[in-house]
Structure 1
Amino acid sequence: MTEFILDVELHSEDENARLSAAIDSFVSLHDSDVRSDAFDLDLMVRTVFGPGGERLKQIIFQQHELADAFSTFWVAFRGLN
């Protein structure tokens, strides 16, 4: 199965907490969508280190559309505050 991976660089613990909140909000919004199947949102989050030692979160989706939707959602969520 194809995986779609978003790499998110985190600059602080606060940003790590905001990413977790964004994922929770995105899942809640997706679950509240009456058109969606409760089991069609598969995602996994893992921590990795980039070539320069920077900490990254990788968010792995099974559907390209959901990866794109979360990427857009994260940009908007990150911009709040």
Structure 2
Amino acid sequence: MAEVVLDVELMDEAEDVRLSEAIDSFIQMQGQRAGADGFDFDLMVRTVFGPGGERLKQLIFQKHDLAQAFDAFWSSFRLLP
């Protein structure tokens, strides 16, 4: 199974905390949707540095559909107050 990697550029420490909150919310939301069947979720998060020295978070998913769903979720979550 191929891994799906999302690179997330963070503007500051506050956005790093926000990303953690988004991951927690997304996992909880997906678990609720799964119901009694359970929810199988593999995610690895690591900090890397881009070519210009910018700090990035890499989110590594095992399932393409979950990576796409999180990417859309993060796009809206990061704009919430």
Aligned residue in 1 for 2:71: 71
Deviation string 1:32-80 (CA, Å, 9 cap, x unpaired) is 1127632x21111000000000000000000100000000000010111
Q: Percent identity?
A: 60
Aligned residue in 1 for 2:80: 80
Summarize the Cα distance change of 1:57–1:79 in structure 2 as closer, same or farther, 3 Å threshold.
same
The normalised TM-score by structure 2 is 0.93
Letter in 1 for 2:48: V
Task: Give the gaps of 5 or more residues in structure 1.
Answer: none
Question: Would you say how many aligned residue pairs link Structure 1 and Structure 2?
Answer: 80
- Using the alignment, how far apart are the partners of 2:37 and 2:54 within structure 1? 36
- Using the alignment, how far apart are the partners of 1:4 and 1:25 within structure 2? 20
Aligned residue in 1 for 2:15: 15
- Using the alignment, how far apart are the partners of 1:36 and 1:55 within structure 2? 37
